[in-house]
Amino acid sequence: MRALSSWRAREARSGLLLVAPGLLLLSLFLALPVIASLLLSLTDFDLYAVGDPGNARIVGLRNYARLLHDPVFWKALGNTFFFVVVGGPLTVSLSLGSALLLNHKLVRFPGLFRTIYFAPVVTTLVAVAAVWKYLYHPRFGLLNAALGFFGVGAIDWLGDPHWAMPAIVLMAAWKNFGASMIIFVAGLKAIPDSLYEAARLDGAGPWQRFRLITVPLLAPTFLFVGLTTTIGYFQLFAEPYVMSGGDGGPMNATLSVALFMYKQGFRWWSIGASASIAFVLFAVILGATLLQRRLQKGGEA
């Protein structure tokens, strides 16, 4: 009995020892900073306070109140929602479409096509954003050349405020659809063939089999992909940063909330204001997550 309890004690000790480095790093670089960020958002912490924190004063919710009256913030929020609402569904449809194609039983070399479609996911965003910048060039870009072939006039993709955000959506969809595609393929593979076989014997056509078997059984995968895409897309940053040379132009047309936060914090050192933007973004993402969870529950009921 004594041996057993000393075993238990040893197990507890080594358990704590093994989680310690990970938890210590997470407290230091995640938990504490998040709390600090919340506190900073209630101060006017700025460049002077970076030198001497004594210069910061508590201002309550003034940073948040100011945000509500800042047209640039609303612009950034609108741009971010546009990216999520247009780019999210576009990306997920491409993922689902390509997964269904890859999973088609007549396909030869599905592994080859899967690798090709997945390639953009592992590419470096900064590098491919530079590539797309040239593809979007109004005069020398391949995209306008291709569109010109079909009689479409030249579009100043990144220079025209109306086209800049759609251009970023298009690039992001190209870059990201392969990641969710892989998850859809795994979801499709998990549906047993026998179900389709049984439906066929009962006289169900291809469309009916898709609607009655694939759609309901893929629903959990679909919601997972939807959720991760939404969360990821709300954090839009590097695409507009590289495409616009860091400022979210033209005329703030590609300024996202995360980029606005970055500019406030790391360019103008308005750290208090920047922290309040971070928390608004957090609240928006949390809200979207809860909403989607709710829809999921509603769908199951």
Partner 1 sequence: MTRKTLATIGVHAALVAGSVVTLAPLLWMVSASFMTAGEANTSPPPLLPGQATLDQYRELFVRLDMGRSFLNSALLATCAALLSVVVNAAAGYAFAKLRFPARGPLFSGLLAAMVIPGQVAMLPVFLLLRSMGLVNSYAGVILPGVASIFGIFLVRQYAASVPDELLDAARIDGAGELRIFWSIVLPLCRPILVTLGVLTFLGTWNDFMWPLIVLTDDTKWTLTVALASLSGEHVQDTELMMAGAVVTVLPALLLFLALQRSYIDGITAGGLKE
Q: Which residue in the set 6, 19, 93, 211 belongs to the binding site for partner 1 (CB under 8 A)?
A: 19
What is the smallest separation between the CB atom of 294 and partner 1, expressed in angstroms?
15
Query: Measured between alpha carbons, how far is 24 from 126 in angstroms, rounded to an integer?
Result: 32
Q: What is 201-262 written as a DSSP string?
A: HTT--HHHHIIIIIHHHHHHHHHHHHHHHHHHHHT--HHHHHHTTTS--STTTT--HHHHHH
Touching partner 1, residues 235-294 (CB under 8 A)? 235, 237-238, 241-242, 245, 258, 261-262, 265-266, 271, 274-275, 278-279, 281-282, 285-286, 289
Establish if 55 lies at the interface with partner 1 (CB under 8 A): no
The answer to whether 185 and 97 are in contact (CB under 8 A) is: no
Stretch that binds partner 1, among 33-41, 70-78, 79-87, 156-164 (CB under 8 A): 33-41
Q: Binding to partner 1 by residue 215, rule CB under 8 A? A: no
The answer to whether the beta carbons of residues 262 and 237 sit under 8 Å apart is yes
CA 92 to chain centre: 12
Number of residues that bind partner 1 (CB under 8 A): 98
- 16 binds partner 1, rule: CB under 8 A: yes
**Sites for partner 1 among residues 147-186 (CB under 8 A):** 174, 179, 182-183, 186
The tokens for 237 are 């940053």
Q: Does 118 bind partner 1 (CB under 8 A)?
A: yes
Q: 236: helix, coil or strand?
A: coil
Under the binding rule (CB under 8 A), the answer on residue 50 touching partner 1 is yes
Note whether 218 binds partner 1 by CB under 8 A: no
The residue among 89 and 110 lying less far from partner 1, judged by its C-beta, is 110
Per-residue CA distances from 54 to 39, 48, 50, 273, 289 (Å): 14, 9, 9, 17, 38
